[in-house]
Chains A and B, each alone.
Chain A
Amino acid sequence: MKILVVDDFSTMRRIVKNLLRDLGFTNTQEADDGSTAWPMLESGNFDFVVTDWNMPNMTGIELLQKIRSSDRLKDTPVLMVTAEAKRDQIVAAAQAGVNGYVVKPFTAAALKEKIEKIFERVDASK
């Protein structure tokens, strides 16, 4: 399971990576915004993307839209972990095809629950 963690704050990337490691996901890579993440996604075979929303250059929602419109990557599960908490935004993320939405500040349990739920669904659809 290869996971890409996208956040412009290195401390948040580190927190997410540590939590993922505790959940048994050790193969993680980092990108500091959507525009850095995109070439990594295109060239590497990532199974899962955890992304923030508010980032410079390319935001998380733009990255999500780009992933969903790509033939090769469109089925990659995307979990949004973000401080964006407006209802409009959550609806927009859902419409763009997000697989899960965690608002910051979040707990390890919330992150675990969402990730497990996403993989249950991915496995069920296989």
Chain B
Amino acid sequence: MQVNNQDNSNSKNSSIKVESVMSPDSDKLKSIIDAGDLEQAAQVIRELQISRDQTIFQEVGRLTRALHNAIRNFHIDLDSDGKEKDKNDLSSMVDASDRLGYVVDLTEKAANKTMDLVDECIPMTDQAREELSILQSDWSRLGDRDMSADEFRGLYKRVDQFFKSQDLNYSALQSNLTNILLAQDYQDLTGQVIQGVTSLVRDVENSLIDLVKMASHVDSITGYQVDIETDVEVIDEDAHLRGHGPQIKKDESVVASQDDVDDLLSSLGF
């Protein structure tokens, strides 16, 4: 996915070539001017101009090809008239955003499925706990011999029913727990998709670096100087008001835990 090395070595060759053509010419020009032959000097200048122009044309041609390769490496296929091809032949970029959309869908579904199952479990455990506490208090009354024979028969029946209902309850809970476990399979699927998109982003970055290198080469042969490194960093005063999403890299500008947040807020008088 890189602009091939042959192109890069060609570009070096062409700049060497232009220098090798120009430097003897300029020596020649100097001696002609020293000799006072202005007509001849003008002729040499014209030749120099032509060889410079030719080098630029060749270079532009080479860069156009390299640019085309770089664009193709983005997987954005262009027809000869420059329009994007039809939707059946979508670029990797479109595909990547579709795939990330799929990750969002899948994680949302898994989260909702898990929460649905938990929502089902909570009333089951609530109900079991309620029944259990009633039975427990009756059971201790039985222990204290504070119960009539009729009441005891009733308790016996209720305990029997409780055992039966709990048997069903536990199988339902178990099946929900298994389904919660299974709902976590999204991690595998989304992980693979994200890895694919990450490698695409890396490839695009490499292609962009190649484009920047090419652009600086154009600048150097046309004599137009731009120092890429001196790009002024824009100071964004509202940066702290915008959302950044989760902090992946933790440094001292980022709090490590809720305790840190609490400490910071209490230092501010909260």
Contacts and interface: CB of A to CB of B under 8 A. Distances in A.
A87 B264 contact: yes
Interface string A77-89: 0000011111111
A52 to B, nearest CB: 8
A87 B247 CA distance: 12
Contacts of A94: 265, 268, 270
B242 to A, nearest CB: 7
A9 to B, nearest CB: 8
B61 to A, nearest CB: 45
Interface stretch (B11-19, B107-115, B206-214): B107-115
Interface stretch (A23-31, A39-47, A53-61, A68-76): A53-61
Residue in A82, A89, A92, A110 with the greatest tally of chain B CB atoms within 10 Å: A89
Interface in A13-31: 14-15, 18
Interface residues of B, number: 25
B240 A92 contact: yes
A2 interface: no
Contacts, number: 77
Interface in B229-270: 239-247, 253-255, 257-258, 261, 264-265, 268, 270
A115 B111 CA distance: 24
Nearest to B107: A11
Contacts of A53: 243
A103 B245 CA distance: 11
A118 to B, nearest CB: 11
A119 interface: no
Nearest to A111: B258
Given A14-B115, A83-B245, A84-B243, 10 more contacts: A11-B112, A14-B111, A54-B244, A85-B247, A85-B261, A87-B254, A88-B240, A90-B264, A102-B258, A104-B246
- Ranked 4 nearest A-B pairs via Cβ: A54-B243, A88-B240, A11-B111, A83-B246
